């Protein structure tokens, strides 16, 4: 591949902000992009759109929709602070409720970056575990509420977050027996990243001794009140001074031989502050943000002209994330045509685009709605993104595993899941909850198109909305062959106009609908649909 | 990054496929013989998370010391399944013990890599790529070998000579071991009996932006999946399975699929399956009962699955065609961590099973010192690439010179594959006299003396490791005459604390532990 001389840097983007640019911005920052959202963005312009992305949004609450056995939580109420029961396992309904709620939050976040950031942080701080669902909810709420807030503060909060203490065994760590699991991941995965090993136990960015010292500093934090039936007790973290190692803790030359001197319940704050003094503290997270919003490959040009300035901006803003994302989204580099439509979709994008992106609306019945989202959660899982159960603390491999990165989402097994999913969406419908069925209506979908009576315009617009990029001639021809096989263009115009003239004629609606199903099915199955 | 010789020319220009050096143009792993039905198969079982080797294969001669450093984790002596006077299995490993008793299990003690890096992700990468610890390779060890015979893959695959997938990962995601320079050689098969046909799109010219290569990848994946899935389904349906597998055991279900695919005539050479959950920092055992808990459950799943699979393979008459091999990214610390668990360590045993493995235990029991440092993992005896290389050479017939290029220059063949049919394994005479490698004084300060005896003349390597399992230095690698050997070592530059001296002559290893003050 021939590479251009130097990549565009972070200088502000000065070009036009039309369909293609608005589409690119929205697909990389929100889920299930529709044409009306693209139009809204074009109206607002680039600055207005970026402002819109960062407007405040609220994390909702999951509710009980299906269980009468929990006297503390009537149907229609939330369980996020409700106690456990001695004679009934509440985890079953709470798991369904939370999974559905998380899918809904991700896929229906609208013109706002919060959902994309929630997924980003969930992958970054991939805690998991079959624990008290109240605690799991609190963990997600923390991630959502921070969305593009202060990274240093988030790391502090995460260090003593009950779910994380449990997941990485911080709650077992005590004087004399420090458990270094969290300390290791704090450095390797959450903040600095691991550099090359240059000497025994020395990974350039930090050393094995630093892991030990930090593990010692973090001893004493424990968790309690999980799964309690006492309504006054909520799962929480607390500091137990008796288990805390108060001996002096010297960090290595990688941290300028800093001596950690704060003792007791605030020791963790000093640990995090010290890590963020490291000269490379901003680089690792900036690379990850870059891979998230732009592209997975980071050339040395990109490192110099994009990552380094991002890192500088992050330090200058005392680790506030929002200004750095704004800088990136507003840049020439972000809008460079080089990486538009070049990322392979993760399963949340794939599923959201093939349902809500096609104008699908969920049922107003909360039970049916929940079951639908539970079904989408299961689909995401089959496609390698088991949302609340990442395969490891590093998150989902497609977001960290070189050299394949996003390509990992695509293999024989996931392709076959995606194909069945697309076949259901455009065919018999997606079945869930013993007989309920979800299916977008493509006649409604094209009703708002510019010129749906002309088959060429129709296909162009379908392509643009579903794929996000203009179709190649070969694709247009192939799709036309599906829409009106061997027939002149006017046949579509005639048939569709007949339907428009008599929209209550169900036979006509059915006939036109089937043609559209076939075209949309081909689009959902095209390799281009997997890109955004 | 140091690039492998056959992946780049000396001028640093990317190597074109038709420019492969002549001697590397065929690894023989996938030569024209591949269409013969009597092909050999390797089943890789990844134990993800870092398996606690000391709780898997228990050194009986170290039992008291082990009990002293693992007071809560130690398994009661009367619960153990003895292999012989010196070694025993965890009680959950009855199935594996049966394979041992049938003479179809080879154990390689304390396998790791030099310069242990206790990160899961980096360690897993190292095990998958077969790289040095300071080297980043973009390809897997199997993938790199396959690249030699299939330099243009995935272009024009499948084809009449290679109808079947080259490798299979049973599960949801591909194995990095099979990553080749252009694509991953393994087809992901969740269930071989389900095959969906995927539309291939209208094609068209690829964009010249970064979208181009991604689109190309998608098109190729779709086309290949369609072709391969249909083949895999047909072969699996033609296949058979003759024993009962345990229920509610995903590993067992997946291994059953493997047996069905192989017996149906699928020509894939490598099958990869994974069992996760071995990262037992906490709740490795249940409080008060060291024979139950997370680790016991995992070993039981492994043992029952592997035992059923091996019985099936034999019943299907495939015993001489199939071997299995387990691996994990690292072992765990020797000392328990106080939270009913163990932290990331260094080396652990690998198991190979099948009628053609050289049954027995290679290597010595690790030495457990009751004063063991809390950072200390089990010291490495064997480099993992020597195990890989021996499988490539003696099982797949890959030339030793090729193995050295694919893995590492100092690759040493280990006698782990038996002379089952055509390929002859070079087992070696014992090179060292019975006397152990001894160290004096211990602890030592600026100088130490090592003594050992060689029975015959031969190439001997003496290396030094620290408490993290990192290589401190290689003292020498040279031909020594037969006789008593004394080596005076200048230890002034060594870090204080635990120091491991590692002596290797061919497949034989002696390890001695000392402490520097």
Contact B213 A1 (CB under 8 A): yes
- 3-class DSSP assignment, residue B478: strand
| Same domain as A499, residue A385 | no
Tell me which residue in B138, B187, B199 faces A403 most closely, judged by beta carbons. Answer: B138
Taking the C-alpha atoms of residue B263 and residue B319, their distance in angstroms, rounded to an integer, is 11
Residue A384 lies in a domain: yes
Is residue A124 less than 8 Å (CB to CB) from chain B?
no
| Same domain as B393, residue B487 | no
| Same domain as A181, residue A206 | yes
Taking the C-alpha atoms of residue A496 and residue B285, their distance in angstroms, rounded to an integer, is 68
Q: Read off the pLDDT of residues A456-497 as tens digits, 9 standing for 90 and up.
A: 999 999 999 999 888 888 888 888 888 888 788 888 998 899
Mark which of A412, A439, A466 sits at the end of a domain: A439
Q: Read off the pLDDT of residues B177-234 as tens digits, 9 standing for 90 and up.
A: 998 887 889 988 888 997 766 767 667 788 999 999 999 999 999 888 888 988 999 9
Q: Give the number of C-alpha atoms closer than 13 A to the C-alpha of residue A222, restricted to the C-beta side.
A: 13
Residue A158 lies in a domain: yes
Taking the C-alpha atoms of residue A410 and residue A382, their distance in angstroms, rounded to an integer, is 12
| Same domain as A314, residue A259 | no
| Same domain as B474, residue B354 | no
Mark which of B406, B424, B446 sits at the end of a domain: B406
Name every residue whose Cβ is closer than 8 Å to that of residue B397 and which is 6 or more positions away in sequence.
Answer: B28, B29, B423
Residues of B in contact with A173 (CB under 8 A): 339
pLDDT at residue number B425: 41
**Which run of H or E residues covers position A511?**
helix A506-525
Contact B201 A404 (CB under 8 A): no
Mark which of B383, B406, B429 sits at the end of a domain: B406
Residue A132 lies in a domain: no
DSSP A305: I
| Same domain as B326, residue B253 | yes
pLDDT at residue number A521: 87
Taking the C-alpha atoms of residue A44 and residue A52, their distance in angstroms, rounded to an integer, is 9
Which of A416, A474, A477, A519 to mutate to test binding with chain B, by most B CBs within 10 Å of its CB?
A416
In the stretch 173-212 of chain B, residues with CB closer than 8 A to chain A read: 173-174, 176, 179, 184, 187-190, 194-205, 209-212
Residue B433 lies in a domain: no
Beta strand pairing call for B167-170 and B270-276: parallel
CB B472 within 8 Å of CB B494 = yes
Residue B89 lies in a domain: yes
Residue A20 lies in a domain: yes
pLDDT at residue number B427: 44
B421 band by pLDDT with thresholds 50, 70 and 90: low
pLDDT at residue number A344: 98
What is the overall mean pLDDT for chain A? Answer: 92
| Same domain as B119, residue B167 | yes
CB A139 within 8 Å of CB A164 = yes
Q: Read off the pLDDT of residues B53-84 as tens digits, 9 standing for 90 and up.
A: 999 999 999 999 999 999 999 999 999 999 99
Answer yes or no: is the ipTM higher than 0.95.
no
* Residue B430, beta-bridge partner list: none
In the stretch 285-304 of chain A, residues with CB closer than 8 A to chain B read: 295, 297
| Same domain as B328, residue B268 | yes
Is residue A368 less than 8 Å (CB to CB) from chain B?
no
Residues of A in contact with B375 (CB under 8 A): 208, 212
| Of A37-46, A239-248, A393-402, B10-19, highest mean pLDDT | A37-46
* Residue A236, beta-bridge partner list: A224
Residue B422 lies in a domain: no
Is residue B493 less than 8 Å (CB to CB) from chain A?
no
| Same domain as B155, residue B250 | yes
Contact A339 B211 (CB under 8 A): yes
Contact B196 A420 (CB under 8 A): yes
Taking the C-alpha atoms of residue B360 and residue B108, their distance in angstroms, rounded to an integer, is 9
Structural domain containing residue B445: 438-516
Does the pLDDT at position A415 exceed 50? yes
B509 versus A164: which is more confidently predicted? A164
Q: Which of A376-385, A454-463, B32-41, B158-167 has the lowest mean pLDDT?
A: B32-41
Mark which of B386, B406, B426 sits at the end of a domain: B406
- 3-class DSSP assignment, residue B466: coil
What is the overall mean pLDDT for chain B? Answer: 86
- Plot region of B25 (φ>0 → left; ψ -120 to 50 → alpha; else → beta): alpha
Residue B397 lies in a domain: yes
| Of A157-161, A486-490, A491-495, A518-522, highest mean pLDDT | A157-161
- 3-class DSSP assignment, residue A300: helix
Structural domain containing residue A521: 443-530
Residue A308 lies in a domain: yes
pLDDT at residue number B229: 87
A98: tokens are 């939370």
Is residue B131 less than 8 Å (CB to CB) from chain A?
no
Tell me which residue in B118, B337, B375 faces A177 most closely, judged by beta carbons. Answer: B337
Taking the C-alpha atoms of residue A8 and residue A291, their distance in angstroms, rounded to an integer, is 16
Of chain B, the percentage scoring pLDDT greater than 70 comes to 88
CB B15 within 8 Å of CB B8 = yes
Mark which of A260, A280, A300 sits at the end of a domain: A280
pLDDT at residue number B38: 43
Residues of A in contact with B195 (CB under 8 A): 416
| Same domain as B447, residue B401 | no
How far are the Cα atoms of A214, B48, B339, B344 from residue A179, in angstroms, in the given order? 10, 20, 8, 10
Average pLDDT over residues B20-30: 42
| Same domain as A395, residue A329 | no
Bond from prior residue into B443 cis (ω within 30 degrees of 0): yes
| Same domain as A356, residue A241 | no
Residue B93 lies in a domain: yes
Contact A419 B176 (CB under 8 A): no
Residue A145 lies in a domain: no
Does the pLDDT at position B109 exceed 70? yes
Q: Which of A142-146, A362-366, B331-335, B448-452 has the lowest mean pLDDT?
A: A362-366
* Residue A430, beta-bridge partner list: A438
- Plot region of B393 (φ>0 → left; ψ -120 to 50 → alpha; else → beta): alpha
A47 band by pLDDT with thresholds 50, 70 and 90: very high
| Same domain as A234, residue A156 | yes
Average pLDDT over residues B125-154: 89
Average pLDDT over residues A270-275: 97
Is residue B443 less than 8 Å (CB to CB) from chain A?
no
Average pLDDT over residues B108-133: 88
Residue B205 lies in a domain: no
Which of A188, A192, A336, A527 to mutate to test binding with chain B, by most B CBs within 10 Å of its CB?
A527
Mark which of A296, A314, A340 sits at the end of a domain: A340
Residue A156 lies in a domain: yes
Tell me which residue in A194, A344, A473 faces B122 most closely, judged by beta carbons. Answer: A194
| Same domain as A464, residue A417 | no
Is residue A405 less than 8 Å (CB to CB) from chain B?
no
Does the pLDDT at position B95 exceed 80? yes
Tell me which residue in A208, A394, A412 faces B188 most closely, judged by beta carbons. Answer: A412
| Same domain as A449, residue A434 | no
Provide the number of structural domains found in chain B. 2
Average pLDDT over residues A145-153: 96
Tell me which residue in A168, A177, A403 faces B338 most closely, judged by beta carbons. Answer: A177
| Same domain as B277, residue B145 | yes
| Same domain as A260, residue A336 | no
Residue B206 lies in a domain: no
pLDDT at residue number A393: 85
Is residue B338 less than 8 Å (CB to CB) from chain A?
yes
| Same domain as B391, residue B456 | no
Provide the number of structural domains found in chain A. 4
Beta strand pairing call for A236-239 and A221-224: antiparallel
Contact B281 A295 (CB under 8 A): no
Is residue A484 less than 8 Å (CB to CB) from chain B?
no
Average pLDDT over residues A190-213: 91
| Same domain as B105, residue B21 | yes
Is residue A4 less than 8 Å (CB to CB) from chain B?
no
Average pLDDT over residues A189-199: 90
Does the pLDDT at position A288 exceed 70? yes
pLDDT at residue number A507: 83
Beta strand pairing call for B41-48 and B447-454: unpaired
Average pLDDT over residues B267-290: 92
Does the pLDDT at position A163 exceed 80? yes
What single string gives the DSSP state of each residue in A451-512? -TTSHHHHHHHHHHHHTSSPPPHHHHHHHHHHHSTT--THHHHHHHHHHHH-TT-HHHHHHH
Tell me which residue in B117, B201, B339 faces A526 most closely, judged by beta carbons. Answer: B201
| Same domain as B363, residue B458 | no
| Same domain as A311, residue A213 | no
CATH of the domain at B343: 3.40.720
Taking the C-alpha atoms of residue B423 and residue B397, their distance in angstroms, rounded to an integer, is 7
A405: tokens are 């990165």
Taking the C-alpha atoms of residue A532 and residue B216, their distance in angstroms, rounded to an integer, is 15
pLDDT at residue number A4: 47
Does the pLDDT at position B350 exceed 90? yes
Name every residue whose Cβ is closer than 8 Å to that of residue A360 and which is 6 or more positions away in sequence.
Answer: A438, A439, A440
Taking the C-alpha atoms of residue B513 and residue B465, their distance in angstroms, rounded to an integer, is 9
pLDDT at residue number A275: 97
**Shortest Cα distance from B3 to chain A (angstroms)?**
15
Burial of A201 (0-12, 13-18, 19+ CB in 10 A): buried
CB B224 within 8 Å of CB B154 = yes
B461 versus A40: which is more confidently predicted? A40
| Same domain as A459, residue A508 | yes
Q: Read off the pLDDT of residues B438-487 as tens digits, 9 standing for 90 and up.
A: 899 988 999 999 998 888 888 888 989 888 777 888 888 888 888 888 99
Taking the C-alpha atoms of residue A361 and residue A54, their distance in angstroms, rounded to an integer, is 25
For CA atoms A477, A478, A482, A487, give the dihedral sign: positive
Contact A200 B468 (CB under 8 A): yes
Tell me which residue in B122, B225, B343 faces A179 most closely, judged by beta carbons. Answer: B343
Tell me which residue in A212, A411, A473 faces B173 most closely, judged by beta carbons. Answer: A411
- 3-class DSSP assignment, residue B400: helix
Burial of B32 (0-12, 13-18, 19+ CB in 10 A): exposed
**Shortest Cα distance from B263 to chain A (angstroms)?**
22
Is residue B230 less than 8 Å (CB to CB) from chain A?
no
Average pLDDT over residues B369-385: 93
How far are the Cα atoms of B249, B323, B387 from residue B97, in angstroms, in the given order? 19, 16, 21
| Same domain as A294, residue A244 | no
The length of chain B in residues reads 517
Q: Give the number of C-alpha atoms closer than 13 A to the C-alpha of residue A53, restricted to the C-beta side.
A: 29
Residue B111 lies in a domain: yes
Q: Which of B240, B241, B237 has the alpha carbon at shortest distance from B229?
A: B237
Taking the C-alpha atoms of residue B341 and residue A376, their distance in angstroms, rounded to an integer, is 36
Tell me which residue in A176, A415, A416 faces B194 most closely, judged by beta carbons. Answer: A416
CB B52 within 8 Å of CB B332 = yes
Q: Which of A526, A464, A523, A524 has the alpha carbon at shortest distance from A23?
A: A464
Does the pLDDT at position B383 exceed 70? yes
Is residue A333 less than 8 Å (CB to CB) from chain B?
no
- b/e map of A49-84 (b: 16 or more CB within 10 Å)? bbebbbeebebeebbbbebeebeebeeeeebbebbb
Residues of B in contact with A477 (CB under 8 A): 202
Residue A381 lies in a domain: yes
**Which run of H or E residues covers position A336?**
none
Burial of B445 (0-12, 13-18, 19+ CB in 10 A): exposed
The residue to which tokens 């980043």 are assigned: B136
Beta strand pairing call for B348-353 and B322-327: antiparallel
Is residue A497 less than 8 Å (CB to CB) from chain B?
no
Which of B181, B189, B199 to mutate to test binding with chain A, by most A CBs within 10 Å of its CB?
B199
CATH of the domain at B456: 2.60.40.1930
Taking the C-alpha atoms of residue B114 and residue B463, their distance in angstroms, rounded to an integer, is 10
| Same domain as B341, residue B275 | yes
């Amino acid at each position: 591949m021939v590479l251009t001389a130097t990549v565009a840097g972070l200088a502000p983007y000065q070009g036009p902000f039309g369909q293609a640019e608005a589409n690119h911005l929205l697909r990389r920052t929100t889920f299930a992009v529709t044409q009306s959202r693209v139009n809204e963005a074009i109206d607002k312009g680039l600055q207005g759109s970026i402002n819109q992305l960062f407007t405040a949004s609220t994390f909702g609450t999951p509710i009980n929709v299906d269980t009468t056995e929990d006297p503390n939580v009537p149907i229609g109420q939330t369980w996020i602070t409700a106690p456990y029961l001695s004679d009934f396992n509440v985890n079953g309904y709470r798991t369904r409720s939370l999974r559905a709620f998380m899918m809904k939050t991700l896929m229906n976040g609208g013109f706002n970056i919060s959902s994309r950031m929630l997924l980003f942080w969930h992958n970054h701080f991939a805690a998991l575990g079959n624990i008290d669902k109240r605690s799991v909810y609190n963990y997600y709420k923390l991630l959502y509420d921070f969305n593009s807030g202060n990274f240093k503060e988030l790391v502090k909060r995460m260090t003593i977050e009950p779910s994380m203490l449990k997941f990485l065994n911080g709650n077992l760590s005590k004087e004399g027996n420090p458990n270094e699991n969290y300390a290791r991941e704090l450095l390797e995965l959450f903040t600095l990243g691991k550099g090359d090993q240059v000497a025994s136990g020395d990974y350039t960015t930090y050393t094995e001794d630093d892991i030990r010292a930090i593990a010692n500093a973090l001893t004493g934090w424990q968790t309690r009140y999980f799964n309690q039936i006492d309504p006054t007790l909520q799962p929480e973290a607390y500091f137990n001074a008796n288990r805390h190692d108060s001996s002096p803790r010297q960090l290595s030359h990688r941290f300028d031989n800093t001596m950690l001197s704060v003792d007791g319940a605030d020791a963790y704050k000093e640990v995090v502050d010290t890590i963020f003094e490291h000269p490379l503290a901003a680089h690792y997270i900036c690379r990850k943000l870059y891979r998230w919003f732009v592209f997975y490959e980071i050339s040395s040009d990109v490192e110099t002209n994009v990552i380094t300035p991002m890192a500088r901006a992050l330090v200058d803003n005392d680790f506030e994330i929002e200004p750095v994302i704004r800088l990136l989204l507003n840049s020439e580099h972000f809008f460079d045509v080089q990486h538009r439509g070049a990322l392979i979709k993760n399963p949340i994008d794939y599923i959201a685009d093939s349902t809500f992106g096609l104008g699908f609306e969920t049922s107003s019945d909360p039970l049916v709605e929940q079951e639908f989202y539970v079904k989408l959660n299961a689909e995401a899982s089959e496609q390698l993104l088991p949302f609340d159960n990442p395969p490891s603390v590093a998150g989902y491999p497609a977001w960290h595993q070189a050299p394949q990165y996003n390509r990992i989402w695509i293999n024989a097994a996931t392709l076959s899941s995606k194909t069945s999913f697309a076949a259901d969406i455009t065919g018999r419908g997606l079945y869930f909850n013993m007989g309920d069925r979800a299916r977008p209506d493509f006649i409604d979908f094209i009703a708002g198109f510019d010129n749906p009576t002309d088959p060429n315009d129709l296909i162009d617009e379908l392509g643009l909305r579903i794929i996000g990029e203009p179709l190649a001639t070969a694709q247009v021809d192939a799709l036309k062959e599906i829409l009106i096989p061997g027939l002149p263009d006017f046949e579509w115009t005639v048939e569709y106009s007949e339907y428009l003239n008599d929209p209550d004629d169900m036979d006509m609606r059915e006939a036109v609908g089937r043609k559209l199903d076939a075209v949309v099915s081909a689009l959902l199955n095209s390799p281009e649909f997997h890109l955004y | 990054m140091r690039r492998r010789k056959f992946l780049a020319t000396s001028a640093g220009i990317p190597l074109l496929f038709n420019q492969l050096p002549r001697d590397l143009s065929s690894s023989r792993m996938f030569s024209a013989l591949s269409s013969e039905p009597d092909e050999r198969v390797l089943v890789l079982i990844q134990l993800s998370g870092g398996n606690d080797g000391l709780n898997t294969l228990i050194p009986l001669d170290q039992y008291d010391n082990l009990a002293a450093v693992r007071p809560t984790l130690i398994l009661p002596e009367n619960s153990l399944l003895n292999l012989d006077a010196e070694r025993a299995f965890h009680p959950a490993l009855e199935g594996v013990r049966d394979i041992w008793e049938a003479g179809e299990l080879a154990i390689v003690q304390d396998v790791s890599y030099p310069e242990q890096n206790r990160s899961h992700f980096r360690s897993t990468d190292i095990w998958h790529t077969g790289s040095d610890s300071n080297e980043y390779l973009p390809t897997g060890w199997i993938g790199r070998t396959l690249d030699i015979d299939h330099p243009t893959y995935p272009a024009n695959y499948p084809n009449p000579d290679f109808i079947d997938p080259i490798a299979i990962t049973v599960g949801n995601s591909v194995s990095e071991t099979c990553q080749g320079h252009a694509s991953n050689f393994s087809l992901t098969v969740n269930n071989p009996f389900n095959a969906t046909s995927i539309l291939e799109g209208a094609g068209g010219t690829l964009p010249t932006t970064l979208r181009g290569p991604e689109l190309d990848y998608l098109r190729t994946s779709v086309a290949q999946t369609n072709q391969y899935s249909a083949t895999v389904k047909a072969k699996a349906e033609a296949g058979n399975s003759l024993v009962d597998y345990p229920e509610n055991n995903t590993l067992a279900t997946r291994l059953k699929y493997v047996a069905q695919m192989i017996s149906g005539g699928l020509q894939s050479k490598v099958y990869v399956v994974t069992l996760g959950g071995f990262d037992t920092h906490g709740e490795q055992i249940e409080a008060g009962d060291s024979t139950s808990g997370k680790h016991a459950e995992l070993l039981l799943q492994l043992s029952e699955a592997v035992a059923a699979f091996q019985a099936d393979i034999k019943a299907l008459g495939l015993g001489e065609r199939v071997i299995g091999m387990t691996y994990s990214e690292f072992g765990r610390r020797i000392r328990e961590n106080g939270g009913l668990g163990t932290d990331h360590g260094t080396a652990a045993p690998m198991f190979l099973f099948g009628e053609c493995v050289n049954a027995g235990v290679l290597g010595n029991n690790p030495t457990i010192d009751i004063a063991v440092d809390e950072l200390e993992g089990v010291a490495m005896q064997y480099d993992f690439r020597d195990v890989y290389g021996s499988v490539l050479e003696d099982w797949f017939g890959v030339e030793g010179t090729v193995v050295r290029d694919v893995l590492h220059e100092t690759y040493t063949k280990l006698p782990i594959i038996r002379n089952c049919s055509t390929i002859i394994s070079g087992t070696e005479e014992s090179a060292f006299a019975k006397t152990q490698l001894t160290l004096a004084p211990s602890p030592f300060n600026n100088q130490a003396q090592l003594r050992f005896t060689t029975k015959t003349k031969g190439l001997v390597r003496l290396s030094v490791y620290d408490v993290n399992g990192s290589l401190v230095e290689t003292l020498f690698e040279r031909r020594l005459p037969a006789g008593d050997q004394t080596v005076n070592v200048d230890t002034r530059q060594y870090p204080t604390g635990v120091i491991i001296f590692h002596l290797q002559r061919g497949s034989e290893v002696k390890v001695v532990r000392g402490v520097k003050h």
